[in-house]
Amino acid sequence: MAVAVPLHEIRAEFAELDDPVDRTTYLIEIGRTLPPLDEHFKTEENRVLGCQARVWLVAEERAGPPRRLDFLADSDAQIVRGLIAVLLAAFNGKMPAEILAFPIDKLFAELKLPALVPMRSNGLTAMVRRIQAIAKVAAASEPPAKADSESLPLVPLKPLAREDRSRGNGHPREEQKPLLPATIVTGQPQAASPIDVAAIRRDFPILQTTLADGCPLVYLDNAASTQRPKQVIDSMVEAYEHYYSNVHRAGHRLAVESSAHYEAARESVRQLINARSPTEIIFTPGTTAAINLVARSWGDTNVKAGDEILLTMMEHHSNIVPWQELAQRTGCTIRWTPITDDYQIDLDAFERLLSPKTKLIAITAVSNVLGTINPIDQMIEVAHAAGAVVLIDAAQAVPHEPIDVRARNVDFLAFSGHKMMGPSGVGVLYGREELLDRMPPFLGGGSMIKRVTTEGFEPADLPYKFEAGTPVIVPAIGMGKAIQYLQKIGMQSVRAHELMLTRQAHALLADIPGLRILGPEPEHKGGIVTFVMDGIHPDDISKALDLQGIAVRAGHHCAMPLHERLGITASTRASFYLYNTVEEVGKLAAGMREAQRILGR
């Protein structure tokens, strides 16, 4: 099977394309030359998992000998189709051993295309692994063959004249306009920000970054992870350079000082969420670990076959999978609260689903996709009246708005440090003391014991019985400093600033033809604006925005059931924080219009 565009032509083209926009445009062009994959091949069995877009890949064997493989593939994203075209040009028609020996990473470095990084969302890596896995199986069934790894030279061939090249669809290739500057369109200001954003931005070294192609960084991926101010960075450096030691173990001066800073961070968390006592604050590696702790300790102790756990359709996978695992262990049943067409929890359905069988309600305070701020006060009250315990996933709430666990009568609450300007690897589980007291330790080892004998052990008091081993000392200290930074600004001010940006984003994006915002109006959501665009895959949008220095996230955002409910497979999400500006919102809107131009819509 001949490839749509041969590799020597691809190499020649990329050799003369220095501009990232030109390279992306050419990827789109060669992607359009791919023949569409027959629908009967587009099955789950042929899906390449790990791709943000949907990708299908199948192999065919040429009549031999020698034994050679061809690959057919397709995607619903334009840029991904271009990457597929490169892969097929590199691998099609080769013997299995040649495929396994081909230096594909060097090829992509030569073409200045995305690196083959082993990460869960790197679709390019996933496709290469799938191809190599097929080749490995084929190679195992035949005698070894000498691989010709240099059959395709890495030195680009002389490029053809531009006027001689074509799109592959019979039309001359158009000259591409240079990347337009992202004109700032601010529209009508909604309200003045209550915080000094310019002064705040000076505290964040990374926000002064100019990217490799000269674009200033516009960071709008804060719902995934925020950036850190120098105060947080400096506090962690100081800990490592001046007083670091393991905590709660020794009596020397470093150990005493390190322990004091670690416990001061716990007190900062207590104050932030107004917990009754520091003993109710458990340091964990993050929100996911905190929810798993409750599922394993409280869940395994209190839930049995026939019981029910009530979730909502807008939960993050971290607040779904631990309960599905609990259901597998215990035989309990998971019930799902639907959402309305205006992106809200269906409260009537929620109340109908509650029953004496309901042992736990696990709900997100703010949807990480829709931005919807859920009525957790009302839901907690109804759940408690039914005798259920409530866990709140507050990963998208605590960093952005005031949270008072006592006023809201919260049972369990989980959040992460890296989403509130703290370091990664640290998070918090808050639990009412009477609940935590009755829960057995989740992990066993050092720190979580009072006494160990050959006959058994006695667990430590709260909070230490849930902090086995050496805890997250310096990350917790860094998170404590981040909390102090937020408290100095004021959480009400943070919320007001994000609301201003969200209103502006809604106003500007709503004027873009074909763009549909997912989620309620700004007054009913956090600083998250997620959208889809007619005819353009979110993965293509994110790459086109990245060419302009604008960082957003595309994909299912760890919320596959919600996307299925919305009838889509992926979406694009821009998310704001206290250091983002009205000008950056304008760049997002202008960047989307430029993305439409780049992607030919």
The answer to whether the beta carbons of residues 573 and 369 sit under 8 Å apart is yes
At residue 136, the 3 state secondary structure works out as helix
**572 to 226, 341, 568: CA distances (angstroms):** 17, 19, 11
Handedness of CA 232, 235, 241, 245 (dihedral sign): negative
3-state SS, one letter per residue, for 528-563: EEEEEECCECHHHHHHHHHCCCEECEEECCCCHHHH
Torsion of CA 213, 219, 223, 226, to 10 degrees: 100
The answer to whether the beta carbons of residues 64 and 13 sit under 8 Å apart is no
> Which residue in the block uniquely carries the two structure tokens 């800073």?
261
- What are the DSSP calls for 339-393, one per residue? B-TTS-B-HHHHHHH--TTEEEEEEESB-TTT-BB--HHHHHHHHHHTT-EEEEE
215 assigned to active site: no
What is the token pair recorded at 546? 């990245």
Residues, the chain = 601
Please enumerate in sequence order all residues whose Cβ is within 8 A of that of 254, keeping only pairs 6 or more positions apart, or say none.
243, 244, 245
- What are the DSSP calls for 391-436, one per residue? EEE-TTTTTTS---TTTTT-SEEEEESTTTTS-TT-EEEEE-HHHH
Considering the candidates 51, 215, 332, 558, report the single residue annotated as catalytic.
558
Handedness of CA 364, 368, 369, 374 (dihedral sign): positive
Q: What's the CA gap between 580 and 217, in Å, rounded?
A: 11
Of 234, 232, 237, nearest to 478 by C-alpha is: 232
What is the token pair recorded at 136? 């490995």
Chain centroid to Cα 116, Å, comes to 19
At residue 241, the 3 state secondary structure works out as helix
* Residues facing 72 on adjacent strands: 58
Q: Nearest 5°: phi and psi at 237?
A: -65, -45
**Which residues are identified as catalytic?**
558
